[in-house]
Amino acid sequence: MQKKNYVQEILDIIHSGLPQAELAEKLSDYHENDLADALADLTAEERRKLYAILGVEQVAEIFSYLDDAEPYLKELPPEEAAQVVSHMDSDDAVDALDDLEEEDKEKIVHQMDKVDKDAADDVKLLLSYDEDEIGSCMTTNYICIRKDMTIRQAMSELVKQAGENDNISTLYVVDENERFYGAIDLKDLIVARADDSLEKLIARSYPYVTDHEKISDSIDRIVDYAERSLPVLNESGKLLGIITSADVVELVNDQMGDDYAKLGGLTSEEDLNEGVFQSVKKRLPWLVALLFLGMLVSSVVGAFESVVAVLPIVICFQSMVLDMAGNVGTQSLAVTIRVLVDENLTTSKKLHLLFKEMRVGLVNGALLAVMALGFLGVYIHFFKAYAWGQAFLLSGCVGISLIVAMVISSLVGTVIPMLFHKIHIDPAVASGPLITTINDLVAVVVYYGLAMIVLIEMFHLG
């Protein structure tokens, strides 16, 4: 079945010249995400006309799906922008406002106080948290009931609150002091009898997170619970909001983006709107450090200049040894970072991982060494005109270098992230460029050292 291009269909409908009522009815059949994608292909004037046709509530839903709401919010007067933001979930509203300049953000929040003070208070609460805290990405869109209610009262409260809050799969229960008491699954409430006790439906030991927890410290725990939502509490146990599964997906994507940036030696992600100077500030420190490490590698290569002078062919296989050592180190690094997610990892388990990675490096190195011995020996004999004995001596040196370099690289790729983790530095920072440069140094010393000790002596050229 051919996939439909909904965005193009939406654009065709908008440009069709239909009466406003009919246009609004047809567009209501499409998902807000597709409508959000279509906005970019409209002119500012066409968008303003569309906002008036769709109405504030639907426009708010559409804006929730925008990756960057700034240009669209700035097209609206502050009063209209405030109405749109007021109808968004608090976490979506904060995401939209974060895209704006501080002055524009303050204007809209000020107008929200006049439009919907409760929505404004929710947004101000989320904006009060640092962006790396759980409280900054929670939503106040949830159902809350009191623990002393009857089943009938709880059902009535659910119906009443569902008009404003659509996260209804889990009902959160508080005591008389607004402290979190437990949670009820919607299904359990629906099938309960009117004369049943509400207390029997409440899960008292329900998982939760706290508002000032760091997102990076709690994301794996949130994912492990696999709930549609989790309550967010303050230090006194008061229910402030919830983290939904949609929030979790967004947090995981953001964390993956940060980790990917760190793999390149960056401190945080960059975007298309970031200035050159900001990008340089992020990249330069690591590049300076790696420059000096690179100079160290180059000086080590220079120390083996005598080997290259009398046996130039060794240069042909330098990059292969360095690349394989770097690849193995990166693999060990990836495995180690993934394992270190388990905060309860014991010393014995760490040692087990270390020796396992070294054994893997040894076996892989041995297999590749055998292949190098055969294929490179034949290549050196036929294409470089060396005698069979000399050819296999050279290929054997390359093979042994692969084994040693890959074992040491596995060790380095495992120990460094463990060390960084021990001193409370994100192990991902130790990845990519740093590991590669260290492994280059190891491979150069092993390869040229072996060539100096074995080949020069065996060829009787030294």
Q: Could you tell me which of 222, 249, 233, 226 has the C-alpha nearest to residue 142?
A: 233
Backbone angles phi, psi at 239, to 5 degrees: -75, 120
| DSSP-assigned beta bridge partners for residue 214 | 133
Local confidence pLDDT in tens for the 462 residues of the chain? 556 788 899 999 999 988 998 999 999 999 999 999 999 899 989 999 999 999 999 999 999 898 888 889 988 888 899 999 999 988 888 888 887 888 888 889 889 988 889 888 999 999 899 988 999 889 999 999 999 999 999 999 999 998 888 788 899 999 998 899 999 999 999 999 888 889 999 999 999 999 999 887 777 778 788 788 899 999 999 999 998 877 777 766 665 555 545 555 555 554 545 667 776 776 677 677 778 877 887 788 778 887 877 788 888 898 889 889 888 888 888 888 777 765 567 788 888 889 999 999 999 999 999 999 999 999 988 988 888 988 898 999 999 999 999 999 999 888 888 887 777 666 665 556 677 788 888 888 899 888 888 877 676 544
Q: Which helix (H) or strand (E) holds 402?
A: helix 388-422
- Which domains are delineated in the chain? 6-128 (1.25.60.10), 143-264 (3.10.580.10), 276-456 (1.10.357.20)
- What is the C-alpha to C-alpha distance for residues 114 and 137, in angstroms, rounded to an integer? 24
Residue 233's CB: how many other CB atoms inside 10 A? 19
Q: Could you tell me which of 394, 347, 340 has the C-alpha nearest to residue 372?
A: 394
Say what the pLDDT of residue 212 is: 93
The answer for residues whose C-beta is within 8 angstroms of residue 392's C-beta and 6 or more apart is 373, 377
β-pair type (209-210, 180-185):
unpaired
Say what the pLDDT of residue 420 is: 77
Enter the tokens of residue 45: 């004037």
